[in-house]
Structure formats: structure tokens, C-alpha cells
Amino acid sequence: MYVVYGYVELYLPYCSSLKEKRKIIHGLISRIRKRFNVSISEVAFHNLWQRSGLGFSAVDHNNLELELINNTVKQTILNYSTDTEMTVFNYNIISCPRYQ
């Protein structure tokens, strides 16, 4: 069994309110949840208009499948909107040898 977990920071330069930011972030989160079997949530910068921090994780029996999921999540975030810029994308894949 393998687990991927990661953190993404987004810069939203054109947002002028929290309502506008939440609309963009919730749309992005729901798109990722629908397309992939990934847990994702906003975990940082809740009260800032132009920044957001997202945490995500997924579990699979195959390391290569998690790499594919990770890359497609990254591409989805990059291609989601011209109103967002990804400033940080960190992830880690760990192995749980007891369950293999």
C-alpha cells in the first residue's frame, strides 16, 4: 500500500473578496474530487483574499498510479483558471510495507 500526501499554495491576484476566492477554490476542489479519488481541502490562509493553501492525499496499491494521480492533480490545478497561480507544490509518497 502506498500513500501520497501533498500541499499546494495558490495565489489569486484578481480576487477582491473572500466570497470570490471561495467560489474559485470550491470549484477547483470539487473538480478534483469528481475526476480523481483524492481527498482535498483548504487547509491554510482561510481569511486572506488572494492566497490559499490546499492539502491532498490518496491511497493506492501501486506507486506508479499515485505518480499519475499526482501529476494529473497538478495539471488540473495549473489549467483550472487563468485567475490562479500555483506558487508551491510539494508532495511525498510513502510505502506501508506491512500491507503489501
Buried b (16+ CB within 10 A) or exposed e, 30-63: eebeeebebebebeebeeebbbbbbebebebeee
Domains of the chain, first to last: 2-99 (3.30.70.1120)
pLDDT band of residue 26 (cuts 50, 70, 90) is: very high
pTM of the full predicted structure?
Answer: 0.83
pLDDT digits (tens, 9 = 90+) for 66-82: 898 889 889 988 888 78
The model's pLDDT over 47-66, given as tens digits with 9 standing for 90+, comes to 888 999 999 999 988 888 88
Mean pLDDT over each residue of the chain, to the nearest integer: 89
Spatial separation of the C-alpha atoms in residues 63 and 70, rounded to whole Å: 11
Q: Average pLDDT of 6-28?
A: 92
